[in-house]
């Protein structure tokens, strides 16, 4: 069975044109339904599971996207463009909340709360405990599939800084996800 594109499913570009030229609300709703779930998950991960902040960022992303949609050059996908807008809004939120989004941490023990006596922590919960910079690079690279060069361009850092942040993020996650009784045996 061959898999053909559904001719009834309009492209993002044709929907965007209908929105910008004709003000077509149905076309906008189609774009919104198509891209918002992934965009929301992306922002939710970056913002440590803070649902209200993620909803606000997604809403502001769409407001800004619609304002600039007629100038979008389609050199990347609409999803990539929306992700970039959301990323910039998350970074602005980190700055407003006086959080350093890009930092190297040697005090990872402070990130691991063992007071509850649990030996297991799930990945999503561990992601929320990472410093914002680690979490941002990890989500962009490992979840969204961006290269280090693309991450560097989006975050205004070098590709090597992106690689370093990813290395430290993965190390921190491994440390959080490894049961404490086995930590002494691993190096």
Q: Is the domain 9-99 a CATH 3.40.50.970 member?
A: no
pTM: 0.70
pLDDT of residue 11: 95
Q: How far is CA 77 from CA 82, 84, 166, in A?
A: 9, 11, 24
Q: What is the pLDDT of residues 97-138, one digit of tens each?
A: 765 555 544 444 444 444 444 444 577 788 888 888 899 999
Looking at residues 161-183, what average pLDDT do you find? 82
Task: Give residue 74's region: left, alpha or beta (phi > 0; psi -120 to 50).
Answer: left
Of 69 and 183, which is predicted with more confidence?
69
Cα–Cα distance for residue pair 175/101, rounded to 1 Å: 20
Residues of the chain with CATH 1.10.1740.10: 9-99
Average pLDDT along the chain: 82
Residues of the chain with CATH 1.10.10.10: 100-187
Model confidence at 162, in pLDDT bands (50, 70, 90)?
Answer: very high
Cα–Cα distance for residue pair 124/23, rounded to 1 Å: 39
Of 37 and 180, which is predicted with more confidence?
37
pLDDT of residue 98: 63
Task: Indicate the CATH number of 100-187 among 3.10.350.10, 1.10.10.10, 3.40.50.10300, 1.10.3720.10.
Answer: 1.10.10.10
pLDDT of residue 4: 43
């Amino acid at each position: 069975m061959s898999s053909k594109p559904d001719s009834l499913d309009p492209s993002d570009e044709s929907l965007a044109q209908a929105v910008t030229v004709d003000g077509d609300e149905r076309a906008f709703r189609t774009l919104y339904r198509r891209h918002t779930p992934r965009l929301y998950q992306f922002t939710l991960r970056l913002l440590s599971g803070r649902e209200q902040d993620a909803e606000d960022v997604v809403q502001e992303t769409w407001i800004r996207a619609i304002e600039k949609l007629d100038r979008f050059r389609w050199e990347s996908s609409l999803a990539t463009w929306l992700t970039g807008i959301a990323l910039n809004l998350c970074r602005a939120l980190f700055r407003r909340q006086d959080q350093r989004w890009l930092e190297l941490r040697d005090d990872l023990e402070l990130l691991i709360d063992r007071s509850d006596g649990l030996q297991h922590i799930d990945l999503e919960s561990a992601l929320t405990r990472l410093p914002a910079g680690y979490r941002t690079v990890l989500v962009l690279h490992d979840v969204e599939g961006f290269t280090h060069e693309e991450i560097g361009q989006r975050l205004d850092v070098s590709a090597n800084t992106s690689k370093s942040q990813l290395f430290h993020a993965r190390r921190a996650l491994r440390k959080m996800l490894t049961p404490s009784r086995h930590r002494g045996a691993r190096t």
